[in-house]
Amino acid sequence: MSKAVKFLAIVVLSVAVMSITAVPGIAADLALNGAGASFPYPLYMKWFSEYSNSNVGVKFNYQSIGSGGGIKQITAGTVDFGASDAPMTEEEMSKLPGPILHIPTAIGAVAIIYNLEGVPSGLRLTQDLLAEIFIGKITRWNDPKIFEINKELKLPNTDIVIAQRSDGSGTTDIFTNYLSTVSAEWRTKVGRGKSVKWPVGIGGKGNEGVAGLVKQTPGAVGYVELAYAKQNKMTVASLRNREGQFVAPTIEATSAAAAGITMPADFRASIVDSPGKESYPIAGLTWLLVYKEQTDAAKGKALVQFLKWAITDGQSMGAALDYAPLPKPVTDMVDKTLRQITSQGKALY
């Protein structure tokens, strides 16, 4: 009996403590709810905590349920902002209750990783080579076509093993978007999507799955997010860009890809195979999805303030987490766009 009494006392006490600490928070906080892409999740978490520290009273809940989920949630209006690695399609946008803005927040890139005995670094690939390898036409590493642009390397006489993402992913979308852009054969045979019917290869779940396959399998080549490749110090290939330059995947080369194109007013741009000498060719924007007309003025105001902060102060935090910052001309454009967000006809900027 005394045991039960003790237990009860502990429960009552802990509930009391929790309510004391929680009450002040409930009174003041404005909670912004978001959901969507998992690729920018680490960056957004950093942003949310930094921003909440300097702006007491604004809290964020973000669920990284995937880009598709983010679009679904913002369409249903269950969240205040969505997040996606792929721009919404016309069909998806037609289902929205009101006009939406794509606010670019950061740039991601896809790195080609490989595991080749005797080639610790320095592999170079062209658009055609990459497409032909992933379509299964070039099957051995000592193929003369690969040798032709890698004459200084000792390429082994082994099979090429392709590793790809088995789960639906924005990374796959960017990568297949690139292959569809540079190869007509890829475009007609496979196409672009978050998951596709791969002509050849083995599937791994997540960046870590693909990286694991490549590390474990001699002769393997695969693709992962640049941030993942950098943090795990993986061997990456340099790719030939549109201007004929071989570019290694770096933060700078990724930002250059976004600077290389003419940004459309709605920011729904593809930046693969981007012009510019420094541009890394497999890159993509990631967006926050925000309604142009906000129903809740207080929330809308807080959201706009946060977005303003994200494209200015927030940009410098990205590099430490291996996200490429948006080029200045783009953030200037975003700033203008943020001024269009209204609540009952009143601008919230």
Q: Which residues bind another protein (CB under 8 A)?
A: 65-69, 72, 159, 161, 166-169, 190-198, 201-205, 209, 212-213, 216-217
CB of 43 to another protein, least distance (A): 19
CB distance 310 to 304 below 8 Å: no
Q: Tell me whether residue 182 or residue 253 sits nearer to another protein (CB atom).
A: 182
| Residue 252: count of CB within 10 angstroms of its CB | 13
CB of 100 to another protein, least distance (A): 17
Q: Tell me whether residue 222 or residue 325 sits nearer to another protein (CB atom).
A: 222
CB of 202 to another protein, least distance (A): 4
CB of 274 to another protein, least distance (A): 23
Q: Tell me whether residue 95 or residue 154 sits nearer to another protein (CB atom).
A: 95
CB of 196 to another protein, least distance (A): 5
Q: Tell me whether residue 113 or residue 257 sits nearer to another protein (CB atom).
A: 113
Place of tokens 């993986």: 234
For residue 16, how many C-alpha atoms fall within 13 Å in the half-sphere facing its CB? 6
**Is residue 24 exposed (0-12), middle (13-18) or buried (19+ Cβ within 10 Å)?**
exposed
CB distance 317 to 46 below 8 Å: yes
Alpha-carbon distance of 87 to 141, in angstroms, equals: 36
Tokens of 320: 């430490």
Host H or E run for residue 26: helix 2-28
Q: Where are the alpha helices (DSSP H) in 183-280?
A: 184-189, 206-216, 226-231, 251-260
Q: Tell me whether residue 85 or residue 278 sits nearer to another protein (CB atom).
A: 85
Strand 81-84 and strand 30-36: the pairing is: parallel
CB of 166 to another protein, least distance (A): 4
CB of 33 to another protein, least distance (A): 19
Q: Tell me whether residue 204 or residue 260 sits nearer to another protein (CB atom).
A: 204
CB distance 95 to 66 below 8 Å: no
Q: Tell me whether residue 115 or residue 250 sits nearer to another protein (CB atom).
A: 115
DSSP labels, 91-148: HHHHTSSS-EEEEEEEEEEEEEEEE-TT-SS--EE-HHHHHHHHHTS--BTT-HHHHH
